[in-house]
Amino acid sequence: MSDGAIPKKKPLMALLTGFLARTGLSAPILPRLFAHIRWLIAPNLYSFGYALRTTIASLIALGIALWWELGSPQWAALTVWMIAQGSRGKSLAKARWHMFGMVVGTIAAISIVAISPQQPLLFILLLSACIGSFCFIGTLLPGPATMTNYRIHGMRASGFTVAIIALDGSADPGHIFIIAMSRATYITLGVVIETVLSSLFQFRLNERARDRLASNFIGAVGKASDALATMLGGNQNALRDSPEMLASLASLGDQIEFAEIEMGRHGHEGDHARAALSDIAALFSRALDLSALMDDAATYGSTWQKLANQSRDFLLALPDRLKDPPEFSGLMAELASLRADCRLDAATCLDIEMNMVTHPPVKITTETAVTREGQALHVLGDLLDQLQAALAQFEASRNPPPHDRFHFAMRTWRDWRIAFANSLRASVSIFLAGVFWFATAWPDGIVFVMFVCIVCALFSTLETPAMASRAFLHGALCVSGVAMLITFWAVPAVTVYEMLALVFVPFMMIGGLAFSNPRMILGAVAYNLFLTILVGPLNQGRTDEILFFNTAMPLCLAMAFCTWMYRVFLPLDPDGVRWDMRLQILKGLRNLAHRSRPMLPRDVIGISVERMVRLLNTVAGRRGPVIDAYLSGILSAMTVGLAILSLRSILMRAELPPAATRDVQEVLGRMAQFTGRYGGHYGRTERATRLAVISLERQEQVEMNLSQRVEILRALASLRVILAELTSNKVFFDASSPYLDPVFP
């Protein structure tokens, strides 16, 4: 029983507390220190499993390469770490594109060496142009420019393969075919070992892939429904404050591709899932239209408030209800009832307007309020229709219909100038490294050029190559220290491969666990790739210590050289990226207004999402007033672009009265010159839109023909959306303003 005395501290805790007090530190430093190294001392199960699986696979590949007495067995282990990923789908996708890149790179390397025997300058020109071409093609391939885009990885693997084959073959062009086949053997061995071993660590792969598809969609719906519910609750800035929701859809598209690979090509679940995500993005655009209409206080009638509250409650409960498949039919029935109520109440508002017109005098204030409410109800109905389409596609991805032939392709939008800049950056860096090699006659300069080629092939297609190469440099320095320890202390003491493998296990496990930590990914990639390269195990069970220095020094110098080149030659300029993006947006609005074949609405949404992703990538996701302003401008431009397409479709139906047609054509004509040459025409476009809104409002108040009245209301809604966006984002849309930082006074 306790006597009430304060218990004494344990000796260890007393010593630790006293030490911290003497050094001026406090006990809370321990939790912070633990949080920094948690990835190492307390990893989660998936991270530990990935590290263990990849370590075993790389050691098996290295052991087989040594057993076969291949000349450079370490490349097999490097290939395992290059393609290993956390999930089966990612590993298979990366392995598939890595093999494709190996074939392309092998053919290119043999061709380069065959064309330029004993011609070093021609050789380095062809090598730099070849890797630059791969970077150019990779930039234009579908998907975001990230390390997880495995289509781009195919081109990166091509550049990697060209470097390791062509540079070795340049010293012995008579045996280039044998060199190419040996390098291809290493790569194939690593790919096969990793693919086979990763398949053994997967359990209920098909079911987990389907569950991941469903959970990804439910997560996207949850973010969208929260933003929409907040907007319907009266917060008009809810959509402007959540652009990451749209940007995250791009990464979810990659996850769909990986899930398709895990499920096998037996259905169209992935196509339905991509279509569902596209509908979510379109749903967001409908919400932007509704938000613009809700700026008018006349919208908030009793009928609108009732349906807005019902829709808000439905949206808030939607994510949880989607997790229960038997609940889906009831959910869709409730959504159908909401849609029907919106259409009925919108039609009621139109009927009230027609009664006012046919029974003069018309009370302008009352008629305007009814019109505004009817327009908002109509757009809310469109929003619910889009939600219904998204949910239908989601259900088709979860329960595919029989004999399904649905297809929804992945689309992307690339800038040719960015592709050319990426290509030129890689080509010039490699050429200068080759010139340095020739000028200095450095005996190990070929290793330096090879690592420069590898870094350029890996990072030149990224949107922030300087940051990536700097992290890679840190990883190269760390692995050099670890490899020195292994080379000079452990390797001389072992005589059999089994003991060498035991030496590698803890160091490879550390690299695998670091790869699972998002803050250390790029550094961990360098660590994992070059560990066996620097140790360089041989069949005799020993390594050449001199060879270590002749490999480690070129590696670190190559990393530092590439980091410097990315900063001085065509460096990333975030300000320039934003200003150039703004010019492209304004030009795109002009094209939407006057081109005979404009983009489809889903293309407008897609390219806007792509721009948001690129904008966030250029600042590594760090938000601020400037980035927020540009994100708001992109959203606003997307809303205006969709409204322009809506006006064009109204004109194509040719059901507007002649006066209303002329007003809409005047707006589109002004928009075709919108903030064009010399930065003019913003004021004229905004004024033309305002006058068109006033004119159509007057025509709508006296229009007796029901079909023409409906078309006028549709055109009026789109014009009001354009006017609201042009007014609220004047600084962004007016090209006469330089839009320099800070923005939006």
pLDDT tens digits along 633-676: 888 888 899 999 999 999 998 888 899 999 999 999 988 888 75
For residues 128-136, average pLDDT: 95
Q: Containing domain of residue 61, as a range?
A: 42-203+413-568
Whether residue 332 has pLDDT greater than 80: yes
Give the type of residue at 374. Answer: G
- Confidence grade of residue 84 (pLDDT, cut at 50, 70, 90): confident
From the number of C-beta atoms within 10 Å of its C-beta (0-12, 13-18, 19+), residue 125 rates as middle
Sign of CA pseudo-dihedral 24, 30, 35, 39: positive
DSSP 185-213: HHHHHHHHHHHHHHHHT-SSHHHHHHHHH
pLDDT at 145 (0 to 100): 65
> Is 177 among the domain residues?
yes
Q: Angle of helix 88-115 relative to helix 176-200, nearest 10 degrees? A: 180
- Confidence grade of residue 1 (pLDDT, cut at 50, 70, 90): very low
Give yes or no for a contact between 279 and 389, defined as CB atoms under 8 angstroms apart. yes
Q: What is the DSSP letter of 623?
A: -
Residue 488 sits in the same domain as residue 529: yes
Residue 117 sits in the same domain as residue 198: yes
From the number of C-beta atoms within 10 Å of its C-beta (0-12, 13-18, 19+), residue 458 rates as buried
Residue 511 sits in the same domain as residue 635: no
Residue 189 sits in the same domain as residue 89: yes
**Which residue reads 């029901």 in tokens?**
706
Residue 580 sits in the same domain as residue 549: no
For residues 491-519, average pLDDT: 88
For residues 228-243, average pLDDT: 75
**Which residue reads 């086949």 in tokens?**
181
- Confidence grade of residue 543 (pLDDT, cut at 50, 70, 90): low
> Is 133 among the domain residues?
yes
Report the distance separating Cα 55 and Cα 59, nearest Å: 6
Report the distance separating Cα 308 and Cα 20, nearest Å: 58
Give yes or no for a contact between 242 and 632, defined as CB atoms under 8 angstroms apart. no
Radius of gyration of the chain from its Cα atoms, rounded to whole angstroms: 31
> Is 343 among the domain residues?
no
Q: Is 544 helix (H, G, I), strand (E, B) or coil?
A: coil
CA nearest 706: which of 356, 351, 368?
A: 351
What total number of domains does the chain contain? 2
Helices marked H in 441-544 — which ranges? 445-459, 465-485, 497-515, 521-535
Report the distance separating Cα 446 and Cα 405, nearest Å: 53
**Which residue reads 């109204």 in tokens?**
650
> Is 405 among the domain residues?
no
For residues 228-248, average pLDDT: 73
How many other C-beta atoms can be found within 10 angstroms of the C-beta atom of residue 402? 4
Q: What are the residues whose beta carbons fall under 8 Å from the beta carbon of 438, sequence distance 6 or more? A: 120, 121, 124, 445
pLDDT at 129 (0 to 100): 96
CA nearest 39: which of 480, 495, 519?
A: 519
> Is 164 among the domain residues?
yes
For residues 374-378, average pLDDT: 83
How many other C-beta atoms can be found within 10 angstroms of the C-beta atom of residue 659? 12
Report the distance separating Cα 316 and Cα 723, nearest Å: 31
Tokens coding 613? 């992703």
For residues 459-481, average pLDDT: 89
Domain final position from 568, 598, 622: 568
Return mean pLDDT, the chain: 82
Report the distance separating Cα 164 and Cα 172, nearest Å: 13
pLDDT at 326 (0 to 100): 86
Tokens coding 709? 């009245």
Name which residue leads in pLDDT, 737 or 558.
558
From the number of C-beta atoms within 10 Å of its C-beta (0-12, 13-18, 19+), residue 590 rates as middle
- Confidence grade of residue 433 (pLDDT, cut at 50, 70, 90): very high
Cα dihedral value 332, 334, 336, 337, nearest 10: 170
Give yes or no for a contact between 603 and 462, defined as CB atoms under 8 angstroms apart. no
CA angle 220, 223, 225 (to 5 degrees): 105
- Confidence grade of residue 112 (pLDDT, cut at 50, 70, 90): very high
Residue 86 sits in the same domain as residue 142: yes
Residue 564 sits in the same domain as residue 656: no
pLDDT at 6 (0 to 100): 41
Residue 611 sits in the same domain as residue 537: no
Residue 487 sits in the same domain as residue 596: no
pLDDT at 68 (0 to 100): 87
Lowest mean pLDDT among 38-42, 154-158, 606-610: 38-42
Residue 541 sits in the same domain as residue 643: no
Whether residue 741 has pLDDT greater than 50: no
pLDDT at 356 (0 to 100): 75
Residue 427 sits in the same domain as residue 559: yes
pLDDT at 4 (0 to 100): 41
Whether residue 216 has pLDDT greater than 60: yes
Count of residues making up the chain: 745
Report the distance separating Cα 719 and Cα 540, nearest Å: 79
At 2-49, the pLDDT tens digits run 444 444 444 545 554 565 455 554 445 545 555 567 777 878 888 888
- Confidence grade of residue 738 (pLDDT, cut at 50, 70, 90): low
> What does each C-alpha distance from 117 to 169, 319, 370 come to in angstroms?
10, 64, 82
Name which residue leads in pLDDT, 264 or 600.
600
Report the distance separating Cα 595 and Cα 671, nearest Å: 11
Q: Report percent pLDDT > 70 for the chain.
A: 84
Half-sphere exposure of 63 (CA within 13 A, CB side): 15
pLDDT at 483 (0 to 100): 93
Lowest mean pLDDT among 218-227, 366-375, 598-607: 366-375
Q: What are the residues whose beta carbons fall under 8 Å from the beta carbon of 344, sequence distance 6 or more? A: none
> Is 742 among the domain residues?
no
Give yes or no for a contact between 75 and 86, defined as CB atoms under 8 angstroms apart. no
Residue 533 sits in the same domain as residue 588: no
> Is 347 among the domain residues?
no
Domain final position from 568, 602, 630: 568
At 274-292, the pLDDT tens digits run 888 888 888 887 888 888 7
Whether residue 196 has pLDDT greater than 80: yes
Tokens coding 296? 């008018």
pLDDT at 351 (0 to 100): 81
For residues 236-242, average pLDDT: 68
For residues 587-607, average pLDDT: 86
For residues 561-590, average pLDDT: 87
Q: What is the DSSP letter of 242?
A: -
Domain final position from 568, 597, 613: 568
> Is 302 among the domain residues?
no
Q: Is 420 helix (H, G, I), strand (E, B) or coil?
A: helix
For residues 154-158, average pLDDT: 92
Whether residue 203 has pLDDT greater than 50: yes
